[in-house]
Amino acid sequence: MTLGIVTRLARRLAFLAAALVAATTPAFAEVSTEPQLKAAYLINFLKYVEWPETGTTITLCLFGRNSLGPYLAAHEGRQIGGRELRIRKVSSVEQLADCQELFIPDTEATHFAAIMRWVDKQPILTVSDAAMFLREGGTIALVRSDGGLRFDVNAEALDHAGLRASPLMIRLARQVTGAPR
Amino acid sequence: MNQRHRKHSRFAGPLLMSLAMLFATPASADIDPVAMPLDELLKVGIVSAPKFAENPEQIPSIVSILTAEDIRLYGWRTLSDALRTLQGFNVTNNHTYDYVGTRGISKPSDPRPRLQILIDGISINDNILANSPADTSFPLDIALVERIEVIRGPSASIYGGDAMFGVINVVTRSGQSINGAEAGLVLGSGQEKRLRATWGGVVDGKDVLVSYTGSDANGRTLTLHDLNSDGSARDIHHVGAENGEQLFVKVRGSDWSISFIHARRDREAPTGSYGTIPDGRGHVESDTYSHLSATKDWRPNATNTLQQSFYAGSFDYDGKFPYDFLSDGLVTSVDKLRGAWWGIENRLVNTRWSGQRWTFGFEFKANARQDQVNQDIDVNNIGCFGYRVGPCLDNRQHSQQATFMAEDEIQIGSATLLTLGLRHDNLGRLGQFSSPRLGLVHDADGAGLFKLLYGTAFRVPTVFERAYSTPSVMYGNPNLDPEKMRSLELTWEKRLSRQSRLSTTLYHFNITRMIGTDPSGLAVNGAPTNARGLELEYEHQWSNGSRLRTGYSVQHATDDMGTLDNSPRQMVKLNLALPTGITHLMAGSEGQWISARKAYEGTERVAPYLLVNLNLSYAPSGQNWDASLGIYNLFNHSFNDPVAIDNTTALTRWQMPQLGRSFVLRSTLRY
């Protein structure tokens, strides 16, 4: 007897789902989990930023607590703009020499000031998922907004690091702070 | 019987429903962060992730992750097919249920694997047997599994009692990964038929999945030697005959998710277990699970994340055991177990202090119903024949539990992570338990990853172990004490190249008062049990799609009587998938060698066995279908599994012959 109920329930739920599809226009064409999407941004930024020196590799460094590692590892070795992507964990100044991009998770917020001193004037794109990161002199902050993920850019900090972001990237940013465009 | 015929027609409804949904708009495939333009990333919505989705390298014990690709390549039919390929796991079968044992602790037919089984992070263990089925009574169709995360070692400090040997988290596929309608058809030996209709996709930024599976099997013929008093062979039919259904619905938003599971399996047990009439169709054991859960994430500020879950579940077990009593004629002994529970779970993650990640948890669970009834039924009467007018057992209970846990993960330098955890469980009359845990992970770069875990765990006797007693079956023992465990394990993992990984775990644990049965069949606390062992695993993946995983375990689990029953000393596992040379056709083969095991209270020996399975899978690229053929027990090797000591109508049983070669043909069609 419960079988009948379940079958009916299944049918009702299926029609409900179908009705939802028909009745609503999708706000997001695709969905992802938050760490996966953050990892995707970190890699994607590499396509829109120009570094003063170009080598054969491009290195994305992760500072401290490594929560995005598993989502990035699969892309290691891929070509981005003709350069091979490398992923590195870092914890000290000496290790920063090779980094083109540095991700500092919000859990390391107390280290922001110290890290910004290390990377001062070096051509390193610094990214964090803490909203206050730009006030500390960071270049990009990933922020949650309306069920998705957006980013803020500190143009002054970019300039200070000797990096050039593409106009498209600046235009897509939620907020641009610092120097005039 | 006529009911069985009626059941087939139920396949039609869901199939039509999936056809009706063909108009569903397809979204694009998985995110490729390299190829995708930045403006497309802005259009991606976030859906909440199940709570395990963290870095396995930060967990202080060995973690195995089995993926949907493994399931497809090796043709795993059930969760237990997947688990038995892992080092340290020993799965046995008595043709009614599968039993999962780990690290030498796998008492024959013990329904309690001392593992927590979770679906998307929510425990599904029932509140009467504390069982977590891994066979076809597992409430989720294995075709809906994205990955299986197996975290070993005592995790009671996070997941409570029953997480003694670890946690198995089954993560379901996203609706987006299905992206349309999907129909799955499985045909197998013993007239097994399994039909699945699934719809998944993104609806208004929400990830939606709806799936229904109906299954039916007529069973196989098996020869047993313990049904005639002279030990001669007797063929029994319909071994493995079953009928079942599984419904799964899931909706995930950016910071919330809701899921509903309902599954039923009716399994025939013609083997004459518990002394029922052998080779008949009257002995049926049914399991029905229903589970609803809702989870919401809150972010009060940048350093705090609160996850709240509400869950409600029910478990119904119905056993029909037909007996032929010469004096009374045909009598069916009927078991009815009814469990119902609900609870709320709160988990706060705080990252306010630099380099530290605090997790605080509070859980309240109400076991609203923990009822066990047994009665005898014949054509005229209901009662407890020969004993009393009323039922043989009518035990109705309910209970509550409250749990508080705290854990701090402390980053020391960039290479070391220290985990300190403490959990306190208040189980009312059953007592209060504190379970501390200490873990250390050190990343020595070139030298590999070192993990150390010291943990404690407990397990309270279930209501089944405490109260299931009838005038003729004296099993339940209200005076049972909880089991306690202490364990220390050391793991070394080394990535040899980008594609290969080697891991080794050395462990030692002891369990005091482990619950078992005495010679009369009464549940009792046993003597202290000690175990130690070594597990080795090597994994390699090649760029052409080939993959290899091989493991060796040596384990030694003893109590005052020596090595435990069904505790193999050594196990070798091998999984290898290779391209066949024919485009898109892959061959997945697996081998499991299990050394001899003791049975019948240590007095009998069950011979070692080697089980080899082969699965050929064909997945043409760009096509909307795939198919596979699995051959299980390829060499038709005959072997036995130890089972609980049981009296058939003729003899005492302590082992069960396993099935010979079987075939399963699978196909999936996507719209």
- Convert A32-101 into a string of H (helix), E (strand) and C (coil): ECHHHHHHHHHHHHCCCEECCCCCCEEEEEEECCCCCHHHHHCCCCCEECCEEEEEEEECCHHHHHHCCE
In this prediction, residue A3 carries a pLDDT of 45
To the nearest whole percent, how much of chain B has pLDDT over 70? 94
Residue B29 has pLDDT above 70, yes or no: no
Cβ(B335)–Cβ(A43) under 8 Å? no
- Which residues 36-55 in chain A show a CB within 8 A of chain B? 36-37, 39-45, 47-48
- Please indicate whether residue A18 or residue A131 has the higher confidence score (pLDDT): A131
Domain boundaries, chain A: 3-177
How far is residue B136's CA from residue B243's CA, in Å, rounded to a whole number? 10
A contacts of B23 (beta carbons < 8 Å):
21-22
In this prediction, residue B13 carries a pLDDT of 40
Residue B20 has pLDDT above 70, yes or no: no
Instruction: Read off the pLDDT of residues B557-568 as tens digits, 9 standing for 90 and up.
Output: 999 989 999 999
Q: What is the pTM of this model?
A: 0.86
Structure letter (DSSP) for residue B178:
H
In this prediction, residue B229 carries a pLDDT of 92
Q: Say yes or no: B58 contacts chain A, CB-CB below 8 A.
A: yes
Q: Say yes or no: B7 contacts chain A, CB-CB below 8 A.
A: yes
Q: What is the residue whose two structure tokens read 């919330």?
A: B256
Q: Say yes or no: B5 contacts chain A, CB-CB below 8 A.
A: no
Mean pLDDT of B147-152: 90
What per-residue string of b and e applies to A40-54 under the rule 16 or more CB within 10 Å gives b?
Answer: bbbbbbbbbbebeee
In this prediction, residue A7 carries a pLDDT of 53
- Which residues 150-169 in chain A show a CB within 8 A of chain B? 150, 168-169
In this prediction, residue B521 carries a pLDDT of 86
Cβ(A65)–Cβ(B415) under 8 Å? no
**Tokens read off for B198:** 């699934």
pLDDT band, very low/low/confident/very high, at A95 (cuts 50, 70, 90) = confident
- Using the beta-carbon criterion (under 8 Å), do A34 and B27 form an inter-chain contact? no
In this prediction, residue B446 carries a pLDDT of 82
Residue B504 has pLDDT above 90, yes or no: yes
In this prediction, residue A144 carries a pLDDT of 87
pLDDT band, very low/low/confident/very high, at A27 (cuts 50, 70, 90) = low
In this prediction, residue B293 carries a pLDDT of 96
pLDDT band, very low/low/confident/very high, at A21 (cuts 50, 70, 90) = very low
To the nearest whole percent, how much of chain A has pLDDT over 70? 82
Q: Say yes or no: A15 contacts chain B, CB-CB below 8 A.
A: yes
Instruction: Read off the pLDDT of residues B205-239 as tens digits, 9 standing for 90 and up.
Output: 899 999 999 999 999 999 999 999 999 999 999 99
Task: Return mean pLDDT, chain B.
Answer: 90
Mean pLDDT of B79-87: 96
Residue of B205, B43, B47 whose CA lies nearest to A21 = B205
pLDDT band, very low/low/confident/very high, at B30 (cuts 50, 70, 90) = low
Closest-CA residue of chain A to B210:
A14
Mean pLDDT of A157-169: 93
Residue B410 distance to chain A (closest CA, Å): 10
In this prediction, residue B622 carries a pLDDT of 87
Residue B167 has pLDDT above 80, yes or no: yes
How far is residue B264's CA from residue B259's CA, in Å, rounded to a whole number? 17
Label the pairing between strands B192-203 and B145-152: unpaired
**Collapsed DSSP state (helix, strand, coil) of residue B633:** coil
Of B33, B44, B415, the CB nearest to A30: B44
- Range of lowest pLDDT (B264-268, B328-332, B416-420): B328-332
Residue A164 distance to chain B (closest CA, Å): 16
The domain A3-177: what is its CATH number?
3.40.50.2300
Task: Return mean pLDDT, chain A.
Answer: 82
Residue B9 has pLDDT above 80, yes or no: no
Q: Say yes or no: A64 contacts chain B, CB-CB below 8 A.
A: yes
Mean pLDDT of A150-155: 94
In this prediction, residue A145 carries a pLDDT of 84
Cβ(B393)–Cβ(B374) under 8 Å? yes
Residue B52 has pLDDT above 60, yes or no: no
Cβ(B262)–Cβ(A12) under 8 Å? no
Of A13, A31, A149, the CB nearest to B207: A31
What per-residue string of b and e applies to B388-399 under the rule 16 or more CB within 10 Å gives b?
Answer: eeebbbebeeeb
Cβ(A33)–Cβ(B46) under 8 Å? yes
pLDDT band, very low/low/confident/very high, at B15 (cuts 50, 70, 90) = very low
Asked if ipTM goes beyond 0.85, one says no
Q: Tell me how far the alpha carbon of residue B97 is from its chain's centroid.
A: 11
pLDDT band, very low/low/confident/very high, at B364 (cuts 50, 70, 90) = very high
Instruction: Read off the pLDDT of residues B424-456 as tens digits, 9 standing for 90 and up.
Output: 999 988 899 998 999 999 988 789 999 999 998
**Collapsed DSSP state (helix, strand, coil) of residue A132:** helix
Q: Say yes or no: B350 contacts chain A, CB-CB below 8 A.
A: no
Q: Say yes or no: B12 contacts chain A, CB-CB below 8 A.
A: no
In this prediction, residue B156 carries a pLDDT of 60
- Which residues 119-148 in chain A show a CB within 8 A of chain B? 130-132, 144, 147-148
Residue B547 has pLDDT above 60, yes or no: yes
Residue of A69, A112, A119, A116 whose CA lies nearest to A94 = A119
